[in-house]
Chains A and B, each alone.
Chain A
Amino acid sequence: MKTTTATILVIGLLISFFISASIQNSTAMVKKSYQYGNIIMQRTASENGGGTVVFRHWTHRSKYTCRLCHVDLEFAQVAGESEILEEDNQAGRYCGTCHNGKEAFTIKSCTKCHAKDSAHLAQVLKEDKKAFFAFQKTMPRSRYGNKIDWMQAEGEGLIVLKDKLPGISLPQKNLVTNLRNEPLEPKLSGLPGIIFSHSKHVAWNGCGMCHPKPFKLVNGTTEISMQQIIDGNFCGRCHGTVAFQVNDCSLCHSEPVSL
């Protein structure tokens, strides 16, 4: 009797050890509203965290359109692909385009972006959190991401976004302005239909951020699945990182179902 009990316990303990080891990294990774859209750049940071940059999308998107940085200033849409160097900034490229003491604070004040060490980084993050919540209180709310309804904020005039920088952005003749709503059929029947609003996207992104890659020019010809979007492709490139999260289903699945 004793040996059987012991065997069962040993088996149980072995199983539990094996399982607990394999489930460590499975907790849901939901970002907090004050962290959503923050990009922590530390490829060139030193071991104690010195040099780390916390780039906050929320401070920038409350003043500028996406297009301005991601097209005119050539910032990649994928973290780690822009390769921003000190000399770029000094020469007025990337961050240095605006952070020159005229449009925004100058890059000479290094520690406004670069943390001195890990203690300074912790302090910066703490202050950022405070600043974010103070800002969030002045904005219309949404349910996910930053929990800020950015579109409504612009609609109400609470934020005014700059789309062009003199001397940097080329004057553009708006020969084509597509403001159509594109209906898309969901793959599963019974789900509310999708309405893609060009007008809401064009205002901040222009055409080039989405076309011809990853989206083909003709509506419905790009094969997209929800899983791909969740994995960060297509719509998920922005919706899940900076723009509203795809968790808020009905912001896209907005056509009422007719039964």
Chain B
Amino acid sequence: MFLASCTIYSLTDFEEPAQPLHEIKIIKKKYDSPPLTRSELGTLIEMAVYNGQPEYYGDMILDRQSKKHKSKPVVFSHQVHRRYFTCNVCHTELEFSLSKGQTDITREDNLDGRYCGACHNGKFAFSTEFACDACHLDINPNEHRYPPRKARGDNVPLPQTSYGDHINWVKAINEGLILPERSLPGGSVTSSMPLPGYLEEPLYWTTAVPNIIVHFPHSEHVKWLDCSNCHPDLFSVKQAGTVAFDKESNLYGKFCGTCHMTVAFPMNGCSRCHPRVKNHIGKKP
């Protein structure tokens, strides 16, 4: 009750489809677990979503390898990179895992032109060989206490939101404010398959809560991702085939939460996926 009373709600960011919602085909999904109550959901959201400064949202502090080799931790900023490259470039072409700690990037890899070293070679971007301090910072790996990461050209103002990094990346790409590359020079083809026609329209499905539905546009996702980034490892290819797809698992970083709690807009931007649900902004600072 105390926490709930502290929350403030903003307007929604959902853009209404051309057809009224009640005329749209909604996939009926079955859920094993009962829905969360409003207060449980509020508590969970506040526990799980990012509450820090927007400039640091999506920053990864990598210290597994550096600790082993007694070097300083690495700060990787998704915000800096996603202006210039789609997710697909690093997470498919360069084999960066979607889960933190699974890639095992070594200095040897970088110097041999893999992972960071594929671009950070002194030609495409600053070199991993000499510009060590550009990424290795003398910081406590548990705190975002360093000047926010910036790259040249990051000054173009982008459309705002009220959660996560406070940037509406989808709007930014749709309005042509950013033009992220879909492939590295000399890289492979842009996508594994053009989006089939019937998937160009957004999908809608039911949640465990009556009257609340999910709006999912494939078309916005394939601007950044390839089919294979999500299928079949995160989501099965069968319609409504992904079981145990409930709010809690999403909030804890499964399914959509793989990206939408860490890099893409976090789940307090409720209205982005749930039409006519207000955003949950959380505690007033």
Contacts and interface: CB of A to CB of B under 8 A. Distances in A.
A251 B199 CA distance: 20
Nearest to A248: B192
Interface residues of B, number: 44
A interface, by DSSP: helix, strand, loop or mixed?
loop
Contacts of A248: 192, 228
B197 to A, nearest CB: 4
B27 interface: no
A33 B95 contact: yes
A135 to B, nearest CB: 13
A141 B188 contact: yes
Interface string A1-35: 10011001101100110011011001111101100
A133 B112 CA distance: 9
Contacts of A19: 248-249, 252
Nearest to B234: A28
Contacts of B43: 8-9, 11-12
B78 interface: no
Given A16-B252, A248-B192, A188 B92 contact: no
Chain B at the A interface: mostly helix, strand, loop or mixed? loop
A257 B199 CA distance: 14
Contacts of A15: 36, 40, 44, 248
A227 interface: yes
A253 B227 CA distance: 13
A144 interface: yes
A247 B248 contact: no
Contacts of B36: 15
A44 interface: no
> Which 8 A-B pairs give the minimum distances between C-beta atoms?
A247-B228, A249-B193, A28-B233, A190-B196, A190-B198, A12-B43, A190-B197, A250-B193
Given A192-B194, A249-B228, 16 more contacts: A4-B2, A9-B43, A12-B40, A15-B36, A16-B47, A19-B252, A23-B252, A30-B97, A30-B98, A32-B95, A147-B95, A188-B196, A192-B193, A226-B237, A227-B238, A250-B193
Interface of B: 1-3, 36, 39-40, 43-44, 47-48, 92-93, 95, 97-99, 102, 112, 114, 188-189, 192-194, 196-199, 227-228, 231-234, 236-238, 241, 248-249, 252-254, 258
5 contacts: A15-B40, A16-B44, A133-B114, A249-B192, A259-B197
